[in-house]
Amino acid sequence: MARKSSSLSKTFVWILLALLIVGLAGFGATNLGGRVNKIGNVGDEEILVTQYLRALQNEMRSASVQFGSPITFQQAQMFGIQQQALSRLVSEKTLDSEAQRMGISVGDETVRDQLLGIMAFQGIDGVFDRSAYSFSLENAGLKEPEFEAELRDETARSLLQKAIVTGNIMPGVYAEKTLEYLSEERSIAFVTLIESDLPAPLSGPTNVDLKTFYDANIADFSLPESKAITLAKLTPDMILGEIEVDDDDLSALYEKNIGTYKKPERRLVERLSFLDMASAVDAKQRLVSNETDFETLVRERGLELADIDMGDVSQEALNAAGEAVFALNPGDISAPLKSDLGPALFRVNGILAAQETTLEEASEELKSQLAADKARRMIDAEIARIEDLLAAGATLEDLSQETDMSLESIVYYNGVEADIAAYSAFRQAANSISESDFPEVIRLSDGGILAMRLDEIIAERPQDFETVRIGLEQAWKDDALSQALALAADEKIAAVKSGETLEAQGGIFQAHSDFRRDGFLPDTPPLVVSRAFELTLEDIDKIEGASEIYIVQLKGIKPGDTGTEIAANVKTRISEQLNQSLSNDIFQIYMSQVQQRATVAINEQSLNAVHNSFQ
């Protein structure tokens, strides 16, 4: 009997272990170190995690260059950069799927030619260098077969995309009519009336006036349907006062970011590279003899100034050319010098003096960084305990007693002015929360956390009369002024139609001849110009502004210039833009249809795992 019991016990243990293994097989499936290697599919084309990571990192680098400083993943999320990266990748995979379906591909020779033409893989002699090729791919975390496969796919995508967008021509009449529309000129006159132009000043509102206006416009003074929410939160700012920063940590952070606080003297430099020294010498001689200028040399190479701009660089960054370049004055162009990209001419556009911020000067900033970082780590360390408390049935009130979290209440609706509403994570959770939801830990962008509970849904309701009285008085005055100005404008329009001139009606008079619809009038709403181009000859109308009104009269219409050489050039550009617009529309329609047929599927759990790796 004892043996049987022991046997059953062992069997039970093995069953438990088997179940545990099965359970753990899925654990970490959303972890980058686990089994997941893709975040979705477009048809049969997989979107790999590594591809999305590279796309996201490239988008973040581009954004960092645009903003002038590195951005965090949280900042990237605020600007929707992760969505841009995913959309771009989905578009590429859509074309890959369609190219595969249509049997479009390129041969090894084409891939070889593409490889040989990539400058990053060329040596100083401009010829493909296998060592440079292997080194570049290794730095990018790519293997040769993987890169060559992506290059093959990219070339096939380009062929398909080119086939879609090439040869789409809008009928010529579109360009002709657009040119006529844009080049038409009109002569207009208008008068601006303001409060001081009224026959009598406006009187202030009485309580009866305000109450009547309040009742008539009750929707403007009502709050939308709202949610009464109780929340417990803990943010780094709440515990910063408890944190002490060690001087050694302060010094270590200063040294870690020494490049930020100690910047050597730098130059704003452009570098124009050549295939050989003879070409560089010839270019320099042409500059010295005034046969050409630097900008022309750049264009001759098929480049723009932006392509050769190195930004601000230190002498060390220029390697062997550094000493000679730093001896130049702004505007000077160097003799041919050796560089990482071969012989080159350098032009200096500016000198940036060395900058140094001492540890003492940077200490307050560094203390804030260290304290905030330590506060975030302390909050992270508390999350597991708080989650355990919630799982055990603790209320938000219990959390405020047993942890450092503080209890708050808010009546939430879109647009409410409250500190907690500045967090996008809170707004997203508050918009979707229901009374059946249990509180759970929500991470905030600054490293803080919160948990919330929906107490009640409050129906739309008017705000208290006295609470909105100040805003009500201003709204009444604005409405009264608008009505008074409109009445005065109607009287003056009637006078003009009866034979008087617009100029004689008072107010601020202006007249403009040969004015185009894309013209600009200072301190005048664009609606005035657009309305003038809708009127018929000698017609007159009024346009309301913020605290003024405009009386506009059309005095003349002149057909635009459509027969000169300048007009012909404009028409050509219009045709090109219309053709490009048509191609873009056709391409978007095509992509939409292909995606519907191929089916786009994104695994949000895997996507979130990738995003968590950036935290």
pLDDT tens digits along 263-310:
888 899 999 988 889 889 999 999 999 998 999 998 888 888 888 998
Are 54 and 137 in contact by the 8 Å Cβ rule? The answer is no
Tokens of 444: 């905030």
Tokens of 542: 């009024």
Are 121 and 341 in contact by the 8 Å Cβ rule? The answer is no
pLDDT at 34 over 60: no
Longest dimension (CA), the chain: 121
CA distance 580 to 164: 12
> How many angstroms separate the Cα of 379 from the Cα of each of 148, 426, 430?
46, 17, 22
Which residue ranges make up each domain of the chain?
Answer: 1-30, 35-103+561-615, 185-221+468-558, 226-246+360-459, 265-353
CA distance 165 to 440: 50
Q: Please tell me the predicted confidence (pLDDT) of residue 387.
A: 93
CA distance 227 to 61: 40
pLDDT at 108 over 90: no
Q: Please tell me the predicted confidence (pLDDT) of residue 256.
A: 83
pTM of the entire structure? 0.51
Which whole number is the average pLDDT over 139-144?
74
Which whole number is the average pLDDT over 421-444?
92
CA distance 331 to 335: 13
Tokens 């417990």: give the residue.
Answer: 232
Q: Please tell me the predicted confidence (pLDDT) of residue 36.
A: 61
CA distance 366 to 360: 10
CA distance 357 to 361: 6
Q: Angle at CA 419, nearest 5°, toward 417 and 420? A: 105
Model confidence at 30, in pLDDT bands (50, 70, 90)? very low
CA distance 165 to 103: 19
Q: What CATH code is assigned to 265-353?
A: 3.10.50.40
pLDDT at 492 over 90: yes
3-state secondary structure of 67: helix
CA distance 391 to 451: 12
Give me the percent of the chain exceeding a pLDDT of 90: 37
Tokens of 5: 């019991």
Neighbours of 193 (CB within 10 A): 23
Higher per-residue confidence, 53 vs 505: 505
Q: Please tell me the predicted confidence (pLDDT) of residue 495.
A: 95
Q: Angle at CA 474, nearest 5°, toward 469 and 479? A: 120
Instruction: Render 388-445 in DSSP notation, one character per residue.
Output: HHHHTT--HHHHHHHSS-EEEEEEE-TT---GGGG-HHHHHHHHH--TTPPP--EE-T
Backbone angles phi, psi at 602, to 5 degrees: -115, 130
Are 96 and 42 in contact by the 8 Å Cβ rule? The answer is yes
Instruction: Identify the weakest region by mean pLDDT among 31-40, 99-108, 250-259, 371-380.
Output: 31-40
CA distance 607 to 169: 41
Q: Where are the strands (E) in 240-386, listed by range?
A: 262-263, 266-273, 309-314, 344-352, 355-356
- Among the listed residues 611, 499, 613, 502, the one whose alpha carbon sits nearest the alpha carbon of residue 551: 502
Model confidence at 500, in pLDDT bands (50, 70, 90)? very high
Q: Please tell me the predicted confidence (pLDDT) of residue 614.
A: 67
Q: Please tell me the predicted confidence (pLDDT) of residue 35.
A: 53
3-state secondary structure of 137: helix
pLDDT at 12 over 50: no
pLDDT at 4 over 50: no
Q: Please tell me the predicted confidence (pLDDT) of residue 615.
A: 59
Residue 266 pairs in a beta bridge with 314, 352
CA distance 209 to 472: 10
Q: Which one of 251-260, 478-487, 514-523, 591-600 scores highest in mean pLDDT?
A: 478-487
Neighbours of 213 (CB within 10 A): 19
Higher per-residue confidence, 367 vs 185: 185
| Residue 529 burial (C-beta neighbours within 10 Å; 0-12, 13-18, 19+) | buried
What is the tens place of the pLDDT at every residue in 62-72?
888 777 777 88
Give me the percent of the chain exceeding a pLDDT of 70: 94
Taking the C-alpha atoms of 143, 148, 153 and 154 in order, what is their torsion angle to the nearest 10 degrees?
Answer: 100
Instruction: Identify the weakest region by mean pLDDT among 96-105, 448-457, 492-501, 582-591.
Output: 96-105
